[in-house]
Amino acid sequence: MFFNGEIVVVTGASQGIGRAIATEFASYPVTLILTYNRNEEKMNHLLNELEQSGQAKVYAYKVNIGNEDEVKELFKTVKTKYGKVDILVNNAGITNDGYISMMSNKKWDEVIDINLRGTFMCTREAVKQMMSKKSGAVINISSTSGVFGSKAQTNYAAAKGGMISFTKSLALELADYNIRANVVAPGFIDTSMTKSLPKDMVADVLKMIPMKRFGKPEEVAGIVTFLASQKASYITGKTFTVDGGLING
């Protein structure tokens, strides 16, 4: 068994990759705390589904990951009601694409605040609890855009690339406390984000992917739960791309 009784926090869990990660964790006997910001209806639907089919005790909280007070309140609540966090998955993220010559400060700041600053704040609050237990795992969901860049996504690529460097330093800092930190960097995954891409762009992208298809959210969730488990107890500071071979090396 991968898990038994752990306290797991997954941010941005109402849809897409976050939803798949939540569903994967819910198949184990854990206490699962999920966050969402806008999609309350989708989160309620997910909660009903997991209560019927999963083994986990599942709870959801509306949190703006870019708001420090809300993040602190979340982790205070988790500690008081359920116990100290064992596993944190920083999945919450947004895009707001545009060419650099036309990108406003607001557009830049919004993406950095949620994707990078939000990851920092959630991790800071979670590892305070993990350090006292001298155990834990942090998995940060980045992107292949953060590995090799992406046109018209300087803000997103900067945030996701920053998450990778952040995690490498985090792994070094927390190794003495038996806390591991790793990154999963998905490529093109079949979510609402990729469904909005123009057909000609999709065709061009598929030509670049050796496996000639987009990934499934469940294919990302599998490696996340592996890295969170004791099966990966000697893995830290690493970045794993899930991209059908798009990045080779």
What does the block give as tokens for 85?
């966090």
> Using one digit for the tens of pLDDT, what is the confidence trace for 51-69?
988 899 999 999 999 999 9
In a domain, 223, yes or no: yes
Task: State the residue range of the domain holding 99.
Answer: 7-242
CA distance 78 to 80: 6
The full length of the chain comes to 249
Does 198 score more than 80 pLDDT?
A: no
In a domain, 248, yes or no: no
In a domain, 247, yes or no: no
Does 11 score more than 70 pLDDT?
A: yes
Give the global pTM. 0.96
Does 249 score more than 70 pLDDT?
A: no
CA distance 19 to 162: 24
In a domain, 2, yes or no: no
Q: What is the pLDDT of residue 238?
A: 98
Return the CATH number at 51.
3.40.50.720
| Domains identified in the chain, total number | 1
What is the DSSP secondary-structure string of 112-167?
HIIIIIHHHHHHHHHHHHHHHHT-EEEEEE--THHHH--TTBHHHHHHHHHHHHHH
In a domain, 162, yes or no: yes
Q: What is the pLDDT of residue 17?
A: 97
Query: Letter for the amino acid at 94?
Result: I
In a domain, 145, yes or no: yes
> Using one digit for the tens of pLDDT, what is the confidence trace for 131-184?
999 999 999 999 999 999 988 999 999 999 999 999 999 999 999 999 999 999
pLDDT class of 211 with cuts at 50, 70, 90: very high
CA distance 130 to 126: 6
The packing angle between helices 40-53 and 16-26, to 10°, is: 20
In a domain, 196, yes or no: yes
Q: Which residues are the active-site residues?
A: 156
